[in-house]
Structures are given as C-alpha cells and as structure tokens.
Amino acid sequence: MKSYVITIGLLVLIACQPQEQDNQVDETIQSEVNPKVTPAMSEDQPPIQRIVAFKFKEDVSQEAIQQHMDYFAALKDSIPQILSYRAGQTFPADYEGTGDYDVLHYATFESEESIEEYFNHPAHQRFIAANKDIWANVIVLNSSVED
C-alpha cells in the first residue's frame, strides 16, 4: 500500500511540473487534424452546418456543373470562416420521394456571424455572380451541430 501511495504521489508531482518541451509538435498535430478551428470557437456554442442545394437549369452542360462544383470547393481556401467543406451530386432512390436538387454543398461554420462574413466575402460574391445564371433554384439550410 505504501508503494502505491508513493507511486501516485510521484505521478502527481511529475504531472504538475512545468513543461520544458516546445509545444510546436502539439500545435502541428492540431493544425493537421483540424486546420481551420479558431481559438475563439466556444465549447458552449455548437458549430453551424450549412447545406446549400442547387437545381440547375435544364440546358446546363456537365462542364458548367463541374465548374460550379470546383468554384464552390475553392471557397474553402479563400474564406477562413469555412471550417470544413464537402459536396456531392444527388441521386434518385425509388423508395424515397427525392428532391428536385442536383448538388448539395455542406459547410461548417463557427457561428451565425461567421456565416454572414462568409456570405459577404468577395470570393463568395464572385462565385454567385459567376454561377447564378445556371441555377434554376437554390435552397439554404442552417443547423446547429449536436453530438
């Protein structure tokens, strides 16, 4: 029992010692795991998931759709408020009433304020101007991300 108490005491003492090591390794690992999470992100406020669905006009070429997809995907590199991004084309399922939208974009943001900054960002405004003529309809859904 005495050795158990001494071992616990030593572990507590070691854990309480100031770290002499450079924290650069930890920072590098963190930036690789989640490079766009900002220190201001609050644990009390869950992130916001934004889903943007596009329906293209009937005569839009596959090339124009791919340009739209590439342009939207590039926004994550230009707009720091986008914490994560994914996208894909929709497909029908016989057993479901499927929507009329062709592609979905999923972006994660820290807050409603960061969504507004993203929306007004010049890169996003250029994306809209360059692509709006090929859209028949757009729907946007925002939701808090709960575990």
Bridge partners of 140? 52
Domain residue ranges of the chain, discontinuous segments joined by +: 2-33, 48-144
Question: Over the chain, what is the mean pLDDT?
Answer: 77
Summarize pLDDT for 48-104 with one digit per residue, the tens: 999 999 999 999 999 999 999 999 999 999 999 999 999 999 988 777 766 789 999
Alpha-carbon span 102 to 84, nearest angstrom = 21
Q: What is the pLDDT of residue 94?
A: 73
Task: Assess whether pLDDT exceeds 80 at residue 27.
Answer: no
Q: Does the predicted TM-score (pTM) go above 0.85?
A: no
User: What is the average per-residue pLDDT within 99-115?
Assistant: 94
| CATH class, range 48-144 | alpha beta
Alpha-carbon span 81 to 59, nearest angstrom = 33
Summarize pLDDT for 28-41 with one digit per residue, the tens: 333 333 334 444 45
**Of 97, 95, 92, 52, nearest to 75 (Cα)?**
52
